[in-house]
Amino acid sequence: MKKIKSLSALLFLVTICFYTNQITAQSASARQFSISNVGSGQLASIEFERFVNFFSSAAEFAFTPAFDVNDGFKVDTAVSESDRSTRDFQKWQFISLGNNVYQIINVRSSKAIDFNTASTPPTQQLVNRNDRGQQFRALRINSNIYRFQNVLTGRFLAANNTELTLQANQSNNTAQQWRINNVSPSVVGDPTEVTESFIVAPLPANNVTTLFLNINRAIPNGSYRVLERSFIPTNVNGRFNIKRGENSLEIDVSAVPVGFHRVDILDGNGRRVRSTNLVIAR
């Protein structure tokens, strides 16, 4: 009886060790993750361009990702000062192929990281479970930090400045180490690009004006607020559900005094997402 109990305990420990070496024990393909490089702290991403959003009253950035077949990748966090949420093109899914081997799929483009050789940059390719250039063996270091060994080349996924590349095995090199974190899910494989903007019209306004917001993500239970002279709270505020794409909302600003003010868009947690100027003239 003691031998049976000892054997059962041993099997339990082996099972626990096996699953803790997985990226996630169940439903890996359904969940979404950010992948940040331990060395640089930057997020793995499909290629994107960053440009200043001049529709905002602050120095905010907007982003244009590249998501076609043969487009590339980079290691660079896309974030604006007022919107620090993870963008959909910097979210990933892991498709398990068994034996701790995974494909790494971008949520926005729904394409896989694919290497042809150890010396060429990776490209976005349609998911093909038989393509060894898309297969990565996940080696757990501790907690949620992993190294990814490309099955085709035997080399390890690494960050070289902002480039995503492969390097020879260096187990202590933090450029080859990646932190995996759960993120809120986004729509998978939606390549439609929205040019983000936030304006108020008419401007100057009198007693009524309209907020026009174009945004790349939905914000349930979002809200707006008007700040007198950009820092004094007013009673002009309200909630509305923000959908991905074009939004417009007419607001009453008759209680706002003449002058230069600011309108903020907030997410459901009260964080500022976008801002623009409001001018009242009567």
**Domains, the chain, ordered by start:** 2-182 (2.80.10.50), 197-280 (2.60.40.10)
In order of 22, 94, 136, 150, the CA distances from 98 in angstroms are 10, 11, 11, 15
Predicted confidence (pLDDT) per residue in 126-182, tens digit: 999 999 999 999 999 998 999 999 999 999 999 999 999 999 999 899 999 999 999
In 77-162, the DSSP E strands lie at: 92-98, 101-106, 112-114, 123-125, 136-142, 145-150, 156-160
State the DSSP code for 88.
G
The vertex-251 CA angle with 248 and 257, nearest 5°, equals: 135
Contacting residues for 276 by C-beta, under 8 A, at least 6 apart: 55, 56, 57, 198, 199, 200, 262, 263
Count of beta carbons in the 10 Å neighbourhood of residue 154: 12
Structure tokens given for 173: 């090199």
Residue 216 is predicted with a pLDDT of 76
Question: How large a percentage of the chain has pLDDT more than 90?
Answer: 62
Contacting residues for 236 by C-beta, under 8 A, at least 6 apart: 225, 226, 251, 252, 253, 255, 256
Predicted confidence (pLDDT) per residue in 61-110, tens digit: 667 888 889 999 999 998 766 566 788 899 999 999 999 999 999 998 99
State the DSSP code for 243.
P
Question: How large a percentage of the chain has pLDDT more than 70?
Answer: 82
